[in-house]
């Protein structure tokens, strides 16, 4: 173990999956690169102890792959990674004693066991004394509003309830580093808020605790994380506090425009207007209006944009300038909206 | 939530930790095995099904050999009863891997917990092994009481029975571990692998066919299999000695090849197989777990 104050440290870590060649494509005609999938492409990160660190990225960006590497589920293809100073390849046991992981959007759990039995069993794998395990389990179940279900078999729980139980499982061992992979995916708004509040509270109680969170939800990342790494196609595009990331766009005004009568080609025309750095769109079925979010090179470009809307046969309904959000930062860095990615 | 002092929870020795993993896994295994269905279905599955299989065996024997139950019937019946233990040990450990990974989707959480998967799998196997042993005992009892099996508590060689049993179980579990390791890296149809291998053993490990009557290649394979010697030893211990054809058929041993070995020889062979089997399975499992981890297969869902 090296002397490291860091909770997580990765140095140019990468992961390449070999894809099976399609039967109809002969191996000879298929270049090697087409049979490889680069899930992580040289990620270098440092997470301090006590940080709530967010990984923000679209589907397939490499967030979960990085978590798998850090939790010792997957061997990296190149580079190195450490958790609490322990190497993920050489010292997995030392890491496993100190971490836990929760993956959202899953229906995991031994269906034949009750909620309480599932939690107790896991606490035993980590050597938590039974009395302490029951105390923690009661406290967690109460916080996650599952007390009434503690004697229910997991097979009788809804997906959301299973997810809440899984969330409790992650905390019951009181890990030094907790990996939360999309923990609020599929949870209702109220419970998602409860889990966020609980996570923050849990960290406040012990400044040594560290959380690595992956999420699709900008607001969640903005609200929870001390620092965020925006990741796409296996690479970290930016890493800073939410405020500093938003400050990246301070010199570039962000406008929201509502317009009617726009076609896809019309929107493409607007996107190609000189000075438009990023554009995302949403369509409101009720009003048949498009809502365009634009990041511009400079404020004067807005007149060209308005002209492009007119040229495309659109009608301007509303226009307002707003402060940059994480979503805007994401669009600028990745080139598309995270919402579009989720919808896809 | 109050934090425990750092690593207070791991101040137990490694051996104590392995033992705790084993105990919890055995508890989980028993919960899974005993609670997966309503009691009546469990009764049918665990008791009526093997008894029905024994009845089919009896019927086939009567059709071929008539109503006389010679020692060859004892050979077949005892082998069939003991084979349940082989089946439960070998086939079901791979099933545990697949079930945990793809049905319960918990293997990745077990794997990232500070437990030895080796101890965990053996713990999970204990419940199934107990069911296999109980069913075998039940079948032998039913056979002795109602099917003409020559088995008496007074003639059983208890010392040898315990010796062979104790030496054989590690071998069977080693087999199971190797197949469970293979299940980790097999993406599709892995659920059949354990049963396929167990069925192959049925053919070559002197369950129904003594090695002597097998084709040369299968005979060599049979004599290289520890299960062959385990079954022979267990049969002798239960029947109170070497099983032979009737006097009308010459009274020669049912397997002259295996009859060359004394009880002590069989015990020595099994002891060697135990040491080698446990060692090989331990290192093989460690290696194949590394392969599974490198390929990202510990948590892969393959359409189970």
Mutate to test the interface with B, among A126, A166, A178, A202 (most CBs of B within 10 A): A126
Spatial separation of the C-alpha atoms in residues A193 and B50, rounded to whole Å: 53
Three-class SS of chain A? CCCCCEEEEEEEEEEEEECCCCCCCCCCCCCHHHHEEEEEEEEEEEEECCCEEEEECCCCCCHHHHHHHHCCCCCCCEEEEEECCEECCCCHHHHHCCEEEEECCCCCCCCCCEHHHHHHHHHHHCCCCHHHHHHHHHHHHHHCCCHHHCCCEHHHCCHHHHHHHHHHHHHHCCCCEEEEECCCCCCCHHHHHHHHHHHHHHHHHCCCCEEEEEECCHHHHHHHCCEEEEEECCEEEEEECHHHHHHCCCCCCEEEEEEECCCHHHHHHHHCCCCEEEEEEEEECCCCEEEEEEEECCCCHHHHHHHHHHHCCCEEEEEEEECCCHHHHHHHHHCCCHHHHHHC
Please give the distance of CA B237 from its chain centroid, rounded to a whole number.
18
Q: What pLDDT is stored for residue A20 in this prediction?
A: 66
Q: What pLDDT is stored for residue B54 in this prediction?
A: 84
The structure tokens 């053919």 sit at B203
A294 forms bridges with which residues in the sheet?
A: A255, A279
Residue A191: CB atoms within 10 A of its CB come to 19
What does residue B188 show for φ and ψ, rounded to 5 degrees?
A: -130, 150
pLDDT above 90: percentage of residues in chain A: 62
B32–A110: do the CB atoms touch at under 8 Å? Answer: yes
| Chain B contact set for A126 (CB, 8 A) | 9, 113-114
Residue B141: CB atoms within 10 A of its CB come to 13
Selecting from A99, A100, A174 the residue whose C-beta is nearest the C-beta of B1 gives: A174
Spatial separation of the C-alpha atoms in residues B239 and B164, rounded to whole Å: 14
The set of residues, in sequence order, having a beta carbon less than 8 Å from that of A85 and lying 6+ positions away, is A1, A2, A3, A4, A6, A9
Question: A210 touching B, CB under 8 A?
Answer: no
Q: What pLDDT is stored for residue B2 in this prediction?
A: 44
Per-residue pLDDT reduced to its tens digit, A223-247: 899 999 999 999 999 999 999 998 8
Please tell me whether residue B253 adopts helix, strand or coil conformation: strand
Asked whether B230 and B178 are in contact (CB, 8 A), the reply is: no
**DSSP state, residue B2:** P
pLDDT above 70: percentage of residues in chain A: 92
A227 forms bridges with which residues in the sheet?
A: A53
CATH class for the domain made up of A6-243 = alpha beta
Spatial separation of the C-alpha atoms in residues A62 and A81, rounded to whole Å: 15
- Rounded to an integer, the average pLDDT of A62-91 is 96
Mean pLDDT by 10 residues, chain B (304 residues): 46 78 94 81 81 87 83 91 90 88 92 91 91 92 91 94 96 93 82 81 91 94 96 96 79 91 97 96 94 92 67
B109–A108: do the CB atoms touch at under 8 Å? Answer: yes
Per-residue pLDDT reduced to its tens digit, A176-232: 999 999 999 888 999 999 999 999 999 999 889 999 999 888 888 998 999 999 999
Question: A1 touching B, CB under 8 A?
Answer: no
What does residue B86 show for φ and ψ, rounded to 5 degrees?
A: -60, -50
Strand order in the sheet with A78-83: A36-48, A6-18, A78-83, A86-87
B112–A126: do the CB atoms touch at under 8 Å? Answer: no
B1–A136: do the CB atoms touch at under 8 Å? Answer: yes
Domain ranges of chain A: 6-243, 251-323
Q: What pLDDT is stored for residue A33 in this prediction?
A: 55
- Rounded to an integer, the average pLDDT of A137-148 is 96
Per-residue pLDDT reduced to its tens digit, A260-305: 988 888 898 898 999 998 888 888 888 889 999 898 988 889 999 9
Q: Take residue B66 and report the two structure tokens written for it.
A: 């008539």
Q: What pLDDT is stored for residue A32 in this prediction?
A: 57
Spatial separation of the C-alpha atoms in residues B206 and B86, rounded to whole Å: 12
What does residue A112 show for φ and ψ, rounded to 5 degrees?
A: -80, -15
Per-residue pLDDT reduced to its tens digit, A318-342: 998 888 888 888 888 888 776 655 5
| Chain B contact set for A74 (CB, 8 A) | 293-294, 296, 298
Domains A6-243 and A251-323 share a fold: no
What does residue A240 show for φ and ψ, rounded to 5 degrees?
A: -170, -175
A122–B113: do the CB atoms touch at under 8 Å? Answer: yes
- Kindly report the CA angle at A182 between A178 and A186, in degrees rounded to 5? 130
Q: Residues of A numbered 120-139 whose beta carbons fall under 8 angstroms of chain B's beta carbons: which are they?
A: 121-122, 124-129, 132, 136, 139
- Kindly report the CA angle at A20 between A17 and A23, in degrees rounded to 5? 165
Q: What pLDDT is stored for residue A327 in this prediction?
A: 85
Q: What pLDDT is stored for residue B229 in this prediction?
A: 97
Long-range pairs, B17-21, Cβ under 8 A, ≥24: B17/A127, B17/B114, B17/B115, B17/B116, B18/B116, B18/B119, B19/B119, B20/A124, B20/A125, B20/A127, B21/A125, B21/B115, B21/B116, B21/B119, B21/B120, B21/B123
Q: What pLDDT is stored for residue B4 in this prediction?
A: 44
Q: Take residue B46 and report the two structure tokens written for it.
A: 């665990």
Question: A72 touching B, CB under 8 A?
Answer: yes
Question: Which secondary-structure segment (H or E) carries B226?
Answer: helix B226-239
| Chain A contact set for B105 (CB, 8 A) | 106-109
Per-residue pLDDT reduced to its tens digit, A21-61: 555 444 444 455 567 889 999 999 999 999 999 999 888 89
CATH class for the domain made up of A251-323 = alpha beta
Q: Take residue B241 and report the two structure tokens written for it.
A: 């000695």
């Amino acid at each position: 173990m090296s002397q490291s104050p860091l909770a997580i440290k990765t140095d140019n870590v990468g992961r390449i999956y070999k894809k099976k060649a399609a039967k109809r494509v002969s191996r000879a005609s298929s270049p090697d690169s087409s049979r490889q999938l680069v899930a992580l492409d040289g990620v270098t990160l440092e997470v301090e102890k006590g940080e709530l660190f967010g990984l923000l990225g679209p589907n397939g960006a490499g967030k979960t792959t990085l978590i798998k590497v850090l939790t010792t589920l997957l061997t990296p293809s190149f580079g190195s990674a450490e958790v609490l100073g322990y190497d993920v390849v050489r010292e997995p046991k030392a890491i496993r004693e100190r971490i836990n992981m929760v993956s959202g959007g899953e229906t995991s759990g031994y269906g034949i066991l009750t909620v309480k039995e599932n939690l107790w069993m896991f606490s035993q794998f980590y050597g938590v004394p039974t009395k302490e395990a029951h105390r923690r389990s009661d406290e967690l179940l109460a916080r996650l509003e599952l007390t009434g279900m503690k004697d229910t078999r997991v097979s009788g729980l809804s997906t959301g309830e299973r997810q809440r139980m899984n969330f409790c499982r992650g905390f019951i061992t009181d890990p030094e580093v907790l990996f939360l992979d999309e923990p609020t995916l599929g949870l209702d708004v109220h419970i998602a808020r409860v889990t966020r509040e609980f996570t923050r509270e849990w960290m406040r109680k012990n400044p040594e605790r560290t959380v690595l969170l992956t999420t699709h939800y900008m607001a969640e990342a903005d609200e929870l994380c001390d620092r965020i790494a925006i990741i796409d196609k296996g690479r970290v595009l930016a890493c800073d506090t939410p405020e500093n990331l938003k400050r990246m766009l301070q010199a570039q005004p962000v406008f929201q425009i509502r317009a009617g009568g726009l076609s896809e080609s019309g929107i493409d025309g607007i996107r190609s207007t000189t000075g438009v750095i990023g554009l995302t769109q949403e369509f409101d079925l009720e009003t048949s209006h498009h809502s365009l979010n634009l990041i511009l090179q400079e404020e004067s470009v807005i007149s060209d944009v308005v002209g492009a809307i007119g040229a495309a046969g659109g009608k301007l309904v509303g226009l307002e300038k707003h402060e940059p959000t994480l979503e805007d930062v994401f669009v600028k860095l990745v080139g598309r909206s995270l919402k579009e990615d989720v919808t896809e | 939530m109050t934090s425990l002092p750092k690593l207070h929870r791991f101040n137990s020795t490694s051996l104590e930790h392995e033992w705790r993993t084993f105990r919890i896994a055995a508890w989980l295994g028993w919960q899974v095995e005993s609670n997966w269905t309503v009691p009546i279905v469990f009764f049918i599955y665990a008791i009526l099904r093997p008894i029905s299989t024994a009845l089919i065996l009896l019927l086939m024997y009567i059709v071929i050999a008539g109503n006389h139950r010679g020692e060859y019937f004892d050979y077949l019946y005892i082998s069939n009863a003991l084979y349940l233990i082989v089946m439960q040990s070998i086939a079901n450990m791979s099933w545990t891997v697949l079930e945990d990974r793809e049905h319960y989707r918990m293997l990745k959480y077990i794997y990232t917990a500070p437990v030895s998967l080796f101890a965990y799998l053996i713990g999970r196997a204990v419940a199934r092994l107990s069911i296999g042993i109980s069913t075998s005992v039940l079948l032998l009892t039913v056979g002795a009481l109602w099917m003409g099996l020559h088995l008496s508590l007074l003639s059983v060689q208890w010392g040898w029975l315990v010796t062979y049993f104790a030496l054989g179980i590690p071998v069977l579990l080693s087999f199971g571990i190797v197949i469970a390791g293979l299940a980790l890296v097999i993406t599709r149809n892995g659920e059949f692998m354990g049963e396929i291998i167990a069925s192959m053993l049925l053919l070559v490990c002197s369950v129904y066919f003594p090695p002597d009557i097998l084709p040369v290649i299968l005979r060599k394979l049979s004599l290289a299999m520890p299960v062959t010697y385990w079954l022979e030893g267990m049969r002798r211990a239960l029947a109170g000695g070497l099983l032979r054809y009737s006097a009308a058929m010459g009274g020669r041993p049912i397997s002259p090849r295996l009859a060359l070995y004394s009880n002590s020889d069989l015990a020595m062979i099994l002891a060697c197989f135990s040491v080698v089997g446990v060692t090989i399975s331990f290192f093989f499992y460690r290696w194949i777990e590394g392969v599974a981890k490198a390929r990202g297969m510990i948590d892969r869902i393959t359409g189970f």
